[in-house]
Every structure is written in structure tokens, then in C-alpha cells.
Amino acid sequence: MSADDIQSKLRTFNIEEVSLTPNDIIGMLQKEFPKFNINYNIEEKLQSVADTWPDSLNCEKAEKEWSFSNKHDKKSFFMEYLIPTIKEYYGRH
């Protein structure tokens, strides 16, 4: 949002930091918090929309036009952001 004005005719770009599934989230949380358990129901109408989304985005133009780069993979996203936030919230350091 605060990027300098870029010299490009494009005004929209695909960008993606990390793509997660519910099973990715559950698996990482269970590794860090072995007692973690969750149950959820899939809402079929919403799932049908999600099923049309691409598995990943091509960020090539954003990389070329304004040097966008993904900084995190799934593991680093969890270990640097989500897990510390959960531990802080629940007071488990």
C-alpha cells in the first residue's frame, strides 16, 4: 500500500505470501500443541467457491515490476507469527 509509484501500465498484481489449507493449520498447531484438537464442518456452498480458486498465484509480474518477493514459507509463517501470537495470548512462553 505504501509502495513508491512504479513505472508500469499494470495497476493490479497477483501477490501471495503463503497458501494454507485447514489441514496445514491443524497439523502445524498439533505439532506445537499436542493436545490441540478441533472439529469443523465444511459449508458446501462456500467450499464450492473455494474449489474454484487456484492453488497458487503467479507473482512473476509483481516480482519484475516492483521487486515483490515472498518472505515466508508455511513453516516460517507459523513459527514467526502464528505460534508466538498464540503463546502470548494464552500465556505459554
Amino acid at 75: K
What pLDDT, on the 0 to 100 scale, is given for residue 11?
A: 66
What pLDDT, on the 0 to 100 scale, is given for residue 29?
A: 93
Query: How far is it, in rounded angstroms, from Cα 31 to Cα 28?
Result: 5
What pLDDT, on the 0 to 100 scale, is given for residue 6?
A: 67
| pTM of the model as a whole | 0.63
Q: Are 13 and 64 in contact (CB under 8 A)?
A: no
Mean pLDDT of successive 10-residue stretches along the chain, which has 93 residues? 63 71 90 92 90 79 78 84 90 64
Three cell numbers written together for 70: 515472498
* DSSP state, residue 34: T
